[in-house]
Structure 1
Amino acid sequence: MNIKSALIAGFVVASMAASAVSQDRPNIILMMCDDMGWGDTGFNGNAIIETPHLDTIAKEGAILNHFYSVGPVCSPTRASFLTGRHYFRMGVWTANKGHLPKEEYTVARMLKAEGYTTGHFGKWHLGTLDKVISSKGKGRRPEANYAPPWERDYDVSFVTESAVCTWDPGIGSRAKNNPYYENGVPTHENVLGCDSRVLMDRVIPFIQNAAHSDTPFLAVVWFHAPHENIQAGPEYLKMYEGHGEAAHYYGCITAVDDQVGRLRAELEKLGVADNTALFFCSDNGPEGAVPKDRSKTRRAGSAGEFTGRKRDVTDGGVRVPALALWLGRIQPGSFIDVPMSVLDYLPTVRAMTDASLPDGRKLDGENILPILCGDSKEHRTAIPFRYQKHACLVKGKYKLIIESPDDNALDRLFDLSKDVAESNNILAQYPEIAQQMRAEILAFLASAKASHNGSDYGVSSYTPVDPWEELGKQTAKRKKKTDKQAVR
């Protein structure tokens, strides 16, 4: 065979292989809102906020009614979302602390190794995007926490380090030292108007390019809305006239919904909708206390019937709206009440794509595809939480919250199947269950501490950026500082 014939044959084989991957493995879209409460969507019963496109996904796929962000603030959730591992394993204690270590094996790295093209769009919040400046100032230690998506296995990225205003994101106080970076370069092109539209303007071409080249894709889309600064565009404010300041909050969510609809229309147009799986959730519960008259505040989010809000480990802070859609695999109109979390994304995507994880690293989530497809009603792996002075575990219908590794006097045990408000501590009635769950929490924390010190990475020189945060050792001064950072 001459050189020309060999090249042609090689091209044909490569094209056939790429086509086989595209046909056999689904495209993956992972979407997440910022500070959206469990009760902020139509599919979860909100009678004011219009979310017709998300509601359609709920009808064509599954509502994940008992889904956890794991983190009660954004950065921790994002770390777990991409890795399938608890954020304490990598030192992302809270918002604006730590970063995504390059040694972590993410969903992007996993799928890139399988021939997927990978893209990340929207908020990043897993490290700084510049070694000198940060939107959070020098205290963020820009060089020590430099961890941009273009160095974390994304072929394409359009991201901000942290939150921006939901209208005109390219200007204003939130944009200071916090520009959009397009593939690693700060940009001021097309960064005005509705932020959700600005994001989707980059997502659509990425998907078009992948579809036209018959390449499977991973698109991670992290909307900024409805995080502060909350501002809706004129057309959305008009939709919610009469709702005062809350109209901005409602309008931001409907703007997200419109862009989800735009995305789905493009998938249909490109002929890839049937082979694209979509997931949607929020990163934590809604921000701030809400007065009885919601019209007086833009912090109008709803945690539904659950207790607590953002920064709480009670379900109002960590139980979030969630959907899953995979046409032909997930039964339309499914309503799934099994506890699940963002920790399950990576192992589930792994199962959907038949991808491999080369190093056998400890995962804290599990493959929930059998649950999504109706073949199982049990999440076998307990779901761990850790934030400030609290550590928690959800196991089946029970949830245990502890505050000390040594003293169980403040432990609380709840039966979530009967007590969604977490108001009835049943620990005295079920001491053996509480004791077993407490032991499991402490074992998890010991494992996470070892991971934090680099035991999973096989790199002898690995040194974590920040020291381990022992349960029960957080000072009042540190707690106040952490709360202030998380609000920002």
Structure 2
Amino acid sequence: MKTSLSIFLLFLTSMVLAQTRPNIIVIFTDDQGYADLGVQGSVNDIKTPNLDALATNGVRMTSGYVTAPQCIPSRAGLMTGRYQQRFGTDHNGTIPVPLEEILISQRMSDAGYVTGMTGKWHLEPNHQQPEWIRENIPAIRDKNKYTPRDIPRDKKMPYFPPARGFQEYYYGPMYNILANYDLHGNDIEQQWIEESGFRLDNQTNAAVTFIERNKDKPFFFYLPYFAPHVPLEATEKYLSRFPGDMPERRRYCLAMMAAIDDGVGKITETLKANGIYENTLIFFISDNGAPLKIDKKDIPLTHKGGAWDGSLNDPWVGEKGMISEGGIRVPFLMSWPAVLPKGKVYDRPVISLDMAATAVELASGSKPKELDGTNLIPFLTGEKEGDPHEALYWRFWDQAAIREGNFKYLSAGEREFLFDVSTEEHETKNLIDEYPKKAKSLRKKLDSWAKELKNPGIPEGPIGSEKRWYDHYFQF
């Protein structure tokens, strides 16, 4: 009898937990600058009514950061909840996220959530990672230059979403899709398929289909839209919303953001129709700032290399590739209608690492000690006061930085800066001569953090490829 009662109570507890734990959706855009969200008020040509409504019904972070100004390391930090320098994925050309690292998808699956994803992954091995290639494909270790074809698919598969904790997936940034369900909601045997249509609409439909399939269970869904990153493409449905004289790259960016915004609207309507909107926590974050290429040239869309994607970082200084505010300070929203205040603007520093910490603590009741993020919910509801972090840290290429409170210390090669990023002057006035003790204190903390990393230390000596950016943006 006692055994039966214990089993019943355990079942009852699990049922209550399943009903109260929120569903979690993480929307992660690609190369979207801070300005390109209507509610930011930075520009007047962007149209994002559904994202603006998400902010109106939730919390908008005005000091929301990512861990790196580049795709792979930023995503590595997001998905592990750890500073990616701890395991060596410092930039696109280092290593893929090691298989020993536990991803948030695995943690959520272990907590009893159904996990799913669609869109851009970018955490598998690539041809720009010679260290990994030499170790894992020794037959070509002495090759002078590697190409994408040098890495067989079977070498990538252990790093793809199905092997990294995602139970359901419609994975692929463009039109070559690895899926185990179709857009009609049917289970299919894992296979690669060639998709048609528009990539962003497909990613939205994959998210909506997942929600419909799992509306009666707690779920975690990762939606890394491949936009407004190049190649720029959009349908007339979205382009027609932005007539008039403007750079064509800007028009396409606006159209792609409109497609994402429509997608967010479709997702929220699906949640409401199924009665789960109130208990769904949605994160909306960009992976890094926009690549302005300094002068924002409106080169033809047929250009195959890197180029301005039409997005803007106003009012912040710099761009993708820099750990100035323009490269790492991004759109950052959270909405959970049942719990979070509506229309709150939160100005204290938060970071993408906080997604994993928040999600896993809500799902399991505790945060693993190895995670670097913080559960943001108590800070946003007012249950806790003060900053969620004592300090935030960055190290990328020949740059390193720390933000503590409102002060940010930044080193770029042999140049040093101290800014109060809460002021109107933010990174346009170097305060290092006015507050030398503060700069020294922050540098010491930055040095201490850097000693914990896989490749310890802060970059020293002359700056490399970033020099042109710092010569252009930091003329003081």
Q: Do the aligned partners of 2:392 and 2:403 also contact (CA within 8 Å) in 1?
A: yes
Secondary structure, counterpart of 2:18 in structure 1: helix
Aligned to 1:102: 99
Q: Residue 185 and residue 470 in structure 1: after superposition, are their counterparts in 2 closer, same or farther (change >3 A)?
A: farther
2:417 is aligned with 1:429: no
Contact kept? 1:285, 1:317, Cα under 8 Å: yes
Corresponding residue number in structure 2 for 1:342: 352
Note the C-alpha offset of 1:423: 2.1
Q: Is the 8 A contact 1:31 1:223 kept in 2?
A: yes
Shift, 1:244, TM fit: 4.9
The question of 1:260 aligning with 2:269 is answered no
Establish whether residue 395 from structure 1 lines up as the match of residue 401 from structure 2.
no
The residue type equivalent to 1:155 in the other structure is Q
Residue in structure 1 matched with residue 23 of structure 2 by the alignment: 27
Cα 1:144–1:27 change in 2 (3 A) is closer
Task: Quote the sequence identity (%).
Answer: 27
Please state how far the C-alpha of 1:81 moved relative to its aligned partner: 0.8
Q: Does 1:82 align with 2:79?
A: yes
- The residue that corresponds to 1:472 in the other structure is 460
Of 283, 306, 313 in structure 2, the residue corresponding to residue 303 of structure 1 is: 313
Aligned to 2:416: 411
TM-score (norm 2): 0.82
Q: Which moved more, 1:431-440 or 1:371-380?
A: 371-380
Q: C-alpha offsets along residues 118-153 of structure 1, whole Å, 9 cap, x if unaligned?
A: 112211011149999x98443799838951111111
CA RMSD, 1 decimal: 3.3
Q: Which one-letter code corresponds to 1:303 in the other structure?
A: N
Q: Distance in 2 between matches of 1:51 and 1:135?
A: 38
One-letter code of the match for 2:99? K
> Structure 1: which amino acid aligns with 2:38?
G
TM-score of the superposed pair, with normalisation by structure 1: 0.80
**Deviation at residue 203 of structure 1 after TM alignment:** 1.6
| Counterpart residue number, 2:143 | none
Aligned to 1:157: 169
Q: How far off is 1:372 after superposition? A: 1.6
> Secondary structure at the residue paired with 1:332?
coil
Shift of residue 234, structure 1, vs aligned partner: 1.1
**Paired letter, 2:31:** D
Matched, 1:37 2:33: yes
Q: Which amino acid aligns with 1:81?
A: L
CA contact (8 A) 1:365 1:381 kept: no
Corresponding residue for 2:449?
A: 444
SS at match of 1:313: coil
Output the CA distance in 1 between the equivalents of 2:45 and 2:377: 32
CA–CA separation in structure 1 for the residues paired with 2:322 and 2:161: 28
> Are positions 1:192 and 2:202 aligned together?
no
Q: Distance in 2 between matches of 1:141 and 1:402?
A: 39
Structure 2 residue matching 1:240: 3-state secondary structure:
coil
Q: Give the direction of change, closer, same or farther, for the CA distance of 1:423–1:444 in structure 2 (3 Å limit).
A: same
The whole-number CA distance in structure 1 between the counterparts of 2:381 and 2:402 is 25
Distance 2:222 2:296 in 1: 36
Say which of 252, 262, 282 aligns to 1:278.
282
Per the alignment, residue 333 of structure 1 pairs with 343
- Post-superposition shift, 1:12? 7.5
Paired AA for residue 258 in structure 2: T
1:187-266 alignment runs, 5 A limit: 187-189=192-194, 191-212=195-216, 215-242=217-244, 243-245=246-248, 246-266=250-270
8 Å CA contact retained: 1:35, 1:285? yes
Structure 1 Cα separation of the partners of residues 345 and 283 of structure 2: 15
